[in-house]
Amino acid sequence: MQSASLRLLCLLLPTMLLTACATLSGGVTSAPWGSMPDGREVRLFTLRNAKGMEARITEYGGILVSLTAPDREGKMADVVLGFDRLEDYQTRNPFFGAITGRYANRIRGARFTLDGQSHELEANSGKNQIHGGRQGFDKQLWSGRPIASSRGPAVAMDHVSPAGAGGFPGALRVTVTYTLTDSGALEIDYQASTDAPTHVNLTNHTYFNLAGSGSVLDQELMVNADAILETDDQLIPIGSIRPIAGTPMDFRSSHALGSRIDQADPALRQGKGYDHCYVLPGVGLREVAQLYDPASGRLMTVRTTEPGVQVYTANNLKSMTGKGGQSYGPRSAVCLETQHYPDSPNQPSFPSTVLRPGDRYQSTTVFAFSTR
């Protein structure tokens, strides 16, 4: 009876309210959440699944603002770092929760040659480019829309990046879909197309802390990889792959992030901790990592179609105040950025990141939550 009444109410409401009715019935709601400097409205979408988990995503940067997950006693906690206000994301965000692109991670010298043509990119990390430049995808206003999904509430974020943005050729049409499945997973699906040959490498830059606060060093990580990309002192790959068996970089068996992070190792010294791309075996959507918090019992399993994952223990995160007045600082979270390899446009031996007209960029990463 209640469901029938809701349907009747939706039919009678003005057209401007129909979308709100439909999203409420699908586990998705949206509300205004501030504005861009030019006055364009920014909305915040809330996804709530059958388990009572919530994910909030804003159109600014396609940012995952919050994600709640239950502990072994069923108590919910927000397991991602972020801010309470849009203004903080606009003025001081170290990529918390953002879609990063057009090219996630670093490109040496902020340049590449494609089909014999040289392209100069916007340098924003010394002489290099990182995460698409100063006005990358993390700073763009995306267009959000709830979509139907049999797996749980979902919202799609759309953006058109014009030719020349950040120095990249081709106009790029991108859709990133977040689905909070009723089984307890956050699925992120990426699709893109271009009108001219270009390079594309997308990821999500969420900072995870499964305890909900404090240091992340007692949390245990497993990464199904036996090698990392060797890098120089700017953390840019030099083209070779380093086996990690018997080194502090080896996470094939689960152990605490802090148990080896300060050991003497060239890679750890370069990154001031973990900040390296792990070379993932296999193809297709497969399990590549697990993060576990012994105190709460929360377990996050990562599956991806990507060939690499950048493990970053927030070594350079400046001390700041985040959501709910929490104090954030170095090593208060870990990022598991599934992606193609850094600097692939300049490394012919790496998996290609070239996207051509008529082809479609497609990538999926799943963060599945459970307890033990």
Backbone angles phi, psi at 92, to 5 degrees: -150, 30
Tokens of 64: 């995952």
230 in active site: no
Question: Other C-beta atoms within 10 Å of 109: how many?
Answer: 15
The residue behind tokens 């009572």 is 52
Q: What angle do CA 181, 185, 187 make, to 5 degrees?
A: 80
The CATH number of the domain covering residues in 29-195: 2.70.98.10
- What's the Cα-to-Cα distance from 219 to each of 79, 98, 165, 276, 299, rounded to whole Å? 12, 23, 38, 18, 10
Cβ proximity of 66 and 57 under 8 Å? no
**138, amino acid identity:** D
Fold of 220-345: Beta-galactosidase; Chain A, domain 5 (2.70.98)
Q: What is the pLDDT of residues 91-113, one digit of tens each?
A: 999 999 999 999 999 999 999 99
What's the rounded Cα separation, in Å, for the pair 206 and 327? 17
Could you check whether 29-195 and 220-345 share the same CATH topology? Answer: yes
Domain map (residue ranges) of the chain = 29-195, 220-345
pLDDT for the residue numbered 9: 39
Contact partners, residue 114, CB within 8 Å, separation at least 6: 169, 197, 198, 199, 345, 354
Give 13-54 as a DSSP string. S-HHHHHHHHHHHTTEEEEEEEE-TTS-EEEEEEEE-TTS-E
Catalytic residue selected from 59, 220, 306, 337: 337
Q: What is the pLDDT of residues 199-216, one digit of tens each?
A: 999 999 999 999 999 999
The closest alpha carbon to 331, from 214, 168, 190, belongs to: 214
276 in active site: no
Catalytic residue selected from 159, 205, 276, 340: 205
User: pTM of this prediction?
Assistant: 0.93
**pLDDT tens per residue, the chain (372 residues)?**
344 444 433 434 443 443 443 343 469 999 999 999 999 999 999 999 999 999 999 999 999 999 999 999 999 999 999 999 999 999 999 999 999 999 999 999 999 999 999 999 999 999 999 999 999 999 999 999 999 999 999 999 999 999 999 999 999 999 999 999 999 999 999 999 999 999 999 999 999 999 999 999 999 999 999 999 999 999 999 999 999 999 999 999 999 999 999 999 999 999 999 999 999 999 999 999 999 999 999 999 999 999 999 999 999 999 999 999 999 999 999 999 999 999 999 999 999 999 999 999 999 999 999 999
